[in-house]
A and B are shown apart, each in its own frame.
Chain A
Amino acid sequence: MQLIACPWCGPREEVEFHYGGQAHVPYPDSPAELSDEEWAHYVFFRDNPKGRFAERWNHSAGCRRWFNAIRDTATYRFERVYRLDDPKPGVTELARSREEGTAP
């Protein structure tokens, strides 16, 4: 079974986790001024890339904390897990950790 590295608990089985959709979707600065279409884009529209995707995950059977992960949607490989208050890793940073073999 695939292991996912929880930033708090370490590597655990995939079944202990729940998926939380795309990460880094900011709440609108002035929600009252949004049109219906803009609301629809905020609420329903998500990226669907083939490749690296920043996602939210919840370690629901363990520490029950949310965290972010960079996952490759083509290979299901988890390239990086990071806490919610950490910035989104850049492409060069991910490439470097892959070369150095430090990716989880």
Chain B
Amino acid sequence: MAELLRTSPLDAWTDALERLPDTVRIAVEPYVAMVDVRLGTVGAAASAALGVDLPTAPGTWVPAGTGRAVWLGPDEWLLSSTTETPEELEARVRAAVLPLGGSATDVSAQRIGLRLTGARVRDVLAKGCSIDLHPRVFGRGSSAQTTLGQAGVVLLALFDAADDVVVLVRSSFAGYLADWLLDAALEFTTTPTHDR
């Protein structure tokens, strides 16, 4: 029986991403467990069961243990964990929200994270994203589900300066988005990042 090795959808882009300048650094985040939570009402019971206060303001995220809790909708959140396996996380969250009438579904393989750091990150994202990413509006703790280029993404602001952003993108769109980001960052590179 053939051995199935886990590979990242962006393995082929590793070299190209490494050649980017410090003003636009793009790092592929390691595979983490993610769970999609649906829950009608959020209150003290949910916070106690989950160990995190789910954010109720649209377009926000909060740290949750080793991972994050991202607002996806008025009754939907994305929980991630860097220490648990997808099965462990799903079982734990499901046990917490099921008595409250909620549900939890493992979506770990659905999205991959790209961490963008550097002074030019906002300029690169602005080439294909219409929402306001100025730190005044999109500071630490902000999130946005929108389109970047032609791909649907979730943007997470890690710091107030808007020079440190995580882009969560569907794995099947990761290659397209990596190409798009390399193209968008081209004007900030002093040496060509593409082989000619």
Contacts and interface: CB of A to CB of B under 8 A. Distances in A.
Contacts of A12: 130-131, 146
A8 B130 contact: no
B151 to A, nearest CB: 10
B147 A63 contact: no
A9 B59 contact: yes
B192 interface: no
Interface residues of A, number: 13
Contacts, number: 34
B78 interface: no
Given A1-B130, A62-B145, A63-B145, A8 B74 contact: yes
A101 to B, nearest CB: 21
B37 interface: no
A10 B146 contact: no
Interface size class of B (residues with CB under 8 A): 10 to 19
A95 to B, nearest CB: 29
A24 interface: no
Contacts of A15: 147
B130 A63 contact: no
B147 A65 contact: no
A83 to B, nearest CB: 9
Interface string A61-91: 1111100000000000000000000000000
Contacts of B131: 12
B146 A63 contact: no
A61 B72 CA distance: 11
B172 to A, nearest CB: 16
Interface of A: 1, 8-10, 12-13, 15-16, 61-65
Give the 8 A-B residue pairs with the shortest CB-CB distance, closest first: A63-B73, A8-B58, A62-B145, A13-B130, A61-B147, A61-B152, A65-B73, A9-B58
